[in-house]
Structure 1
């Protein structure tokens, strides 16, 4: 059973999402919260598999709540908002969120999203993330940190991270590096483990933060 906490400051929205999820045979809503601080407290107490967080909430916004939840637990975070701004999406992913949904999402897409992130996947493809980061960071001053754990990587793992940062699939990376897809999967797994990343989308962000990839590069 997939355990979920739903956090939104609008009671009707919160109740609607909870109702959609709770009728699923494999999903149980174990808690609700009306603000970011309460959401963080609920996650700490209930240890859900997934937290659905509204971005704009009182006391603590959803992005800060996501940052703390992802730092403290294995709970997967999906952000909810009425705004589809690139800035929101980037900040949510950088905080550690596994996905981003608009509140007018279809019910089937909502339940699918919960199942996808529990399976360890992201709701955004790395190639989409790469374009997103390009768009956002071109308008921001860059303060790159060449460290960020990259010294833990072998040369081949660093090369893998660069190709992940460019949004390539495992098959494309295998062709570029002239190795098998099985070897690529091993490199990707090592990169995520050594850098403490949750998924490939986080790897794309790390590639930019470290300066391995530059906007438009």
Structure 2
């Protein structure tokens, strides 16, 4: 039975919404607490993002493939695994889902007494002075591009004829956990343009100014992984 494109787009929107709400929500709401119990910390945030991908992979993987990430969709397009028109629908849906999730998170946070957005609010990605460990732009770009490359390499491998499709969701989710453990201090971890776009829209300021890197670097890494994988498949 063929699945309608509109159903796939809706699945991608919901999946990306869930990733941003669970992942960024964990970082913003539960990441660090100064008034109550210690927050879930870096490991907890990494697990939240990774598990979000796992649950969505099994929920919508059979519908849309669970890209929930424009870098993945563009990589799949480069590898010839999705048509251009459908890829565009996926990407638009992913950005919409991420933006709605960031809006919901913003409304939730407004209910916290004394909360003000500040720079890089709502789990926005960034770099430089004032952002987490204050890594420079070169480190931020390199980390995002290389880690996205590895992320896509795992995705291509686990979903290929050589991989174990039934375990793909877990492998991909655990890879995202590992990526976050490395990249959170550097950029807050994007490897996903939509995940960066949603929070940046509401945070504004430096988050919006620096958004370009979190669109370009993951796409570069994803395309590189697709090219490498196409070479491997031909051997």
Give the structure with the higher percent strand.
1
Does 1 or 2 have the higher relative contact order (CA < 8 Å, sep 6+)?
2
Give the structure-1-normalised TM-score: 0.26
Give the structure with the higher percent helix.
2
Give the structure-2-normalised TM-score: 0.25
